[in-house]
Amino acid sequence: MTATPTLTRTLPKRRLTGLKPTGHLHLGNLLGAIRPVVDAQYQAETIVFLADLHALTVAHEPARVRELTLEQATMLLAAGLDPDRAMLYVQSQLPEHTELHFLLECATGVGEAQRMIQFREQSTAQQHVRLSLLTYPVLMTADILLHDAEEVPVGEDQSQHLELARDVATRFNARYGETFTVPRAVHPEVATRVMELSDPTSKMGKTTSSDAGTIFLLDPPDVIRRKVMRAVTDSGRTVVYDPQTRPGPANLLEILSACVDAPPEVLAAEYSSYSKLKRAVAEAVEGLLRPIQLRHAELTRDPGFVRRVLAEGAERARDNATDTVHRAKRAIGLLT
Ligand code: TRP
């Protein structure tokens, strides 16, 4: 008899990503969120959903939410998300999200929700604050716990919400018995944090005041080139990679690095001036986006296909979601 070798098998983790349809997708979304998810879809069990309910927590236009939801779904498919492998659906098409949301509100404190930095920032900036903006992180918690997600890739701005999700899951389990998987935040190693071209100290897409510093995934080549050529740099005469003191050139080098798959320090040495670097960046970004735009155009000609993918995604997601809601209802005292 031969001894069975001990295999350290890493089981695929269940990973969940939510995208909020409040704007057109840009290069920061692609390199920071979409591409890492697409790249990992064959290693991890992948669930991606369009958080259209979250888009209703601030002033919104109904038609725009609908359009952006479809646009973002189409873009995810165009960027390579494989609907036979990953689950892709629209949040509002799976009512279990809101059902679980209410149950979790019964395990969350008002103070806990009020302490969320994003709520505080957004609510002071608005005249009429929707109640749903306060409970937003609880809905996000429901999104995550519904699927027993183990890993949630998040940026800095969502890490406090993820802490809340962990707290609520842990508390619910302690109070009512083991019900939910406690999720954890992951930061994909290959994700690139893209900054505004017009203000390299703020994250791309955050400053809504101008579109000049944001490269949208559907921008035509001449617009991309113009935006890149106008990117803010500094008075330096040589190209060096130093994110701390030279954020403008560093951002360009990181974008180029993500497109051509070479380290930014190495790339810095290849360009003798900012204008040469910018030309290379513009070309690389155009090259990166061209196939995605072509595929997007193809998919747009057949909206029935995208809708079918989304409907099937919701159907596949339903099994596990129903099971989770049942578990939670039983634990909290609604079912026997
Ligand atoms: N709040 C997230 C954002 O603004 C979107 C989101 C909603 C989400 N539900 C989620 C992200 C669940 C991860 C998991 O980007």
Half-sphere exposure of 237 (CA within 13 A, CB side): 0
| Length in residues, the chain | 336
In the reported structure, the alpha carbon of residue 54 is separated from the centroid of ligand 1 by a whole-number distance in angstroms of 8
45: containing domain: 14-190+302-332
State how far the alpha carbon of 148 is from the alpha carbons of 47, 59, 94, 178, 296, in Å: 11, 31, 15, 12, 31
On whether the pTM is more than 0.85, the answer is yes
- The pLDDT, as a whole number, for residue 205 is 83
Tell me, yes or no, whether 262 and 289 share the same domain: yes
Among 116, 161, 164, 184, residue to substitute to test ligand 1 (most atoms within 8 Å of Cβ): 161
In the reported structure, the alpha carbon of residue 251 is separated from the centroid of ligand 1 by a whole-number distance in angstroms of 25
In a domain, 68, yes or no: yes
DSSP summary character for residue 270: T
**Ligand 1 binding pocket, CB closer than 6 Å:** 16-18, 20, 51, 54, 140, 143-144, 152, 158
Tell me, yes or no, whether 280 and 307 share the same domain: no
In a domain, 69, yes or no: yes
In single-letter form, the type of residue at position 186 comes to V
User: For the segment 165-178, what is each residue's pLDDT rounded down to a tens digit?
Assistant: 999 999 999 999 99
Domain with residue 324: its CATH number is 3.40.50.620
Contact 125, 9 (CB under 8 A): no
Identify the three-state secondary structure at position 260.
Answer: helix
In the reported structure, the alpha carbon of residue 1 is separated from the centroid of ligand 1 by a whole-number distance in angstroms of 52
Domain with residue 276: its CATH number is 1.10.240.10
User: For the segment 34-79, what is each residue's pLDDT rounded down to a tens digit?
Assistant: 999 999 999 999 999 999 999 999 999 999 999 999 999 999 999 9
